[in-house]
Amino acid sequence: MHPSAAATSAATEDAREEAIRVTDLHKSFGSVEVLKGVSLTANKGDVVAIIGGSGSGKSTMLRCINFLETPSSGQIVIGGEEIAMRADGTAANRRQIERIRTRLAMVFQQFNLWTHRTLLENIIEVPVHVLKTPRAEAVTRARELLARVGMAEKEDAFPAFLSGGQQQRAAIARALAVDPSAMLFDEPTSALDPELVGEVLTVIRDLAAEGRTMLLVTHEMKFAREVANHVVYLFKGRIEEQGPPAEVFENPKSERLKQFLSSVS
């Protein structure tokens, strides 16, 4: 049965399999409420772009979804599995969170590769040590993934010797190594020099084209318009407007969204 959530991404009306469902998510830091009841659903294969001004809560939302931050309240369901939360929002079951994290690979603005490890070591770390994949198998898979992001020659390189674009492509390969059911991208190109943005967007575009489910926080509006099938505009911790890219970008209803779009274009 399709969830009855009010804010379904609803890329199509048929009952496609649900990947991520967030309902009435709240998050406060001290007395400051940063997320004020966010609800969204991504079905399998959806690419949901999340846009909004700096400080609107985009990163916090992604980080709550995989429990890098502790939600204050709300419900999070990943692949049909509800994450059990205590009243204070912490996960009731650490094992469950670890398992969910390997299903939701996150790619950060600052790449977050382990600097003292080669690319190959970065990529096999979680498969070998968390998922207990046999090392030889993990290495074979890591090499395939490096080739896929155009980094086949760099498996023994340390991150510091690579460009930002190369590091981010390696970070994407690392995210793919756990065979995630969905990927969370938090402004994956905003730390890059302009000439390196394209090579990373190309990798993300290919992942979208092969039907990967993703939540993509981005300030690349042209790219969001191209790859997303649903766009969510966050304003001060609330979803101000959402819809298909053609509507959100070409026929925005909210004045705030209109202003935001004219400020970024």
Provide the sign of the torsion angle of the four alpha carbons 237, 211, 70, 128, taken in this order.
Answer: negative
CA distance 193 to 44: 32
Identity of the residue, 43 or 189, whose beta carbon is nearer to ligand ADP in the bound complex: 189
What residue type is 189 in one-letter code? T
168 is a contact residue toward Mg ion (CB under 5 A): no
Beta bridge partners of 21: 41, 77
8 is a contact residue toward Mg ion (CB under 5 A): no
89 binds, among ligand ADP, Mg ion, none (CB under 5 to 8 A by kind): none
Q: Are 244 and 46 in contact (CB under 8 A)?
A: no
CA distance 110 to 254: 32
| Candidate residues 20, 21, 40, 58; the one interacting with ligand ADP per rule CB under 6 A | 58
54 is a contact residue toward ligand ADP (CB under 6 A): yes
83 phi/psi in degrees, rounded to 5: -80, 120
| Binding pattern for the stretch 152-191 against ligand ADP, x by CB under 6 A and - elsewhere | ----------------------------------------
Q: For the residues of 180-235, what is the DSSP string, one character each?
A: -SEEEEESTTTTS-HHHHHHHHHHHHHHHHTT--EEEE-S-HHHHHHH-SEEEEEE
CA distance 215 to 58: 10
| Candidate residues 43, 59, 167, 218; the one interacting with Mg ion per rule CB under 5 A | 59
Contact positions with ligand ADP (CB under 6 A) in 60-99? 60
Question: Closest approach of Cβ 215 to Mg ion, in Å?
Answer: 13
Edge-to-edge strand order for the sheet containing 230-235?
A: 104-107, 182-186, 214-217, 47-52, 230-235, 238-243
4 binds, among ligand ADP, Mg ion, none (CB under 5 to 8 A by kind): none
Identity of the residue, 173 or 232, whose beta carbon is nearer to ligand ADP in the bound complex: 232
Q: Which range of residues in 55-63, 100-108, 150-158, 169-177 is near ligand ADP by CB under 6 A? A: 55-63
Q: If 0-12 CB within 10 Å is exposed, 13-18 middle and 19+ buried, where does residue 136 land? A: exposed
Q: If 0-12 CB within 10 Å is exposed, 13-18 middle and 19+ buried, where does residue 184 land? A: buried
40 binds, among Mg ion, ligand ADP, none (CB under 5 to 8 A by kind): none
189 is a contact residue toward Mg ion (CB under 5 A): no
| Binding pattern for the stretch 2-41 against ligand ADP, x by CB under 6 A and - elsewhere | ---------------------------x----x-------
Identity of the residue, 34 or 123, whose beta carbon is nearer to ligand ADP in the bound complex: 34
59 is a contact residue toward ligand ADP (CB under 6 A): yes
What residue type is 143 in one-letter code? R
- The residues of the shown chain that bind Mg ion, judged by CB under 5 A, are 58-59
- The residues of the shown chain that bind ligand ADP, judged by CB under 6 A, are 29, 34, 52, 54-60
